[in-house]
Amino acid sequence: MSDNMIDEPTRVSELLDAQAKAVALFAAIDERGLIRPGASEKEVSNEVRDLAAEMFGVSRFWHKRIVRGGVNTLQPYQENPADRLLSDDDIVFCDFGPLFDDWEADFGRTWVLGSDPVKLRLRESLPAVFDAGRAYFDAHPDITGEQLYAHVVSLAEDAGWEFGGEIAGHLIGEFPHEKIADDKIASYVAPGSDQPMRRLDSLGRQCHWILEIHLVDRERGISGFHEELLDLGQPKVNE
């Protein structure tokens, strides 16, 4: 695939199609009951890998597969906590980046096993904070990554949670998209990212973004995660 030969309507269509497939994959995770007490995080991760291959022929994920439950939900993305068995009262999140015909999806959702009211409220807060963050992005055409980050942190706090991520999103596109290096802060929704998010990349293509919401209850030792496309319309998971 030649990145600079693909027209923008095609890029948008392919990114939306990749996310629609991720939506279907996560719906199948629910239907098959893969998030369940007694399964290990690694076991669930491998089952989702196999399910993606079965449903869509996915053979690659552009970032490491993440399934985390309980105290492991507090670990930053770059950490690799010890594998853990899911319990019957856990909060669990999954973060997957499957490649669909060389187009990246990045999708995250949270499950609650059991009826703990705090965990259920945390799960319900995630899409609400996401939607409010998107509304703020939509209302501010010249918004920068650091401005959006600051706003979603304040949204999290207003909802009664701590924002748990050092970033709140990143660029998304064809694989491999414009390299996201640790020192390339403009590729992230994060402090120090002072360029307008609505801009062209180094190849003259429109930048497209993922927004990720990581809400934490430090006292209870739990968190949840919600992630999907920010600047493009998308289908919703039935939750």
Domain-embedded: residue 44 = yes
Alpha carbons 49 and 25: distance in angstroms, whole number: 10
Cβ atoms 72, 81 nearer than 8 A:
yes
Domain-embedded: residue 236 = no
pLDDT at position 1 over 50: no
pLDDT at position 119 over 60: yes
The structure's pTM equals 0.91
Q: Which two tokens stand for residue 80?
A: 């690799």
For the segment 143-153, the average pLDDT, to the nearest whole number, is 98
Domain-embedded: residue 237 = no
Domain-embedded: residue 239 = no
For the segment 109-120, the average pLDDT, to the nearest whole number, is 97
Domain-embedded: residue 235 = no
Domain-embedded: residue 238 = no
Q: What would the DSSP string read from start to end of 144-204?
A: BHHHHHHHHHHHHHHTT-EE--S-SEEEE-BSS-S---TT-GGGBSSTT--SBSSSB-TTS
pLDDT bracket for residue 2 (50, 70, 90)? very low
pLDDT at position 238 over 60: no
Number of domains composing the chain: 1
Domain of 111, in residue numbers: 3-229
Nearest to 51 by CA among 25, 27, 30, 31: 25
pLDDT at position 36 over 80: yes
Domain-embedded: residue 234 = no
pLDDT at position 175 over 70: no
Domain-embedded: residue 33 = yes
pLDDT at 234: 47
For the segment 183-194, the average pLDDT, to the nearest whole number, is 91
CATH of the domain at 203: 3.90.230.10
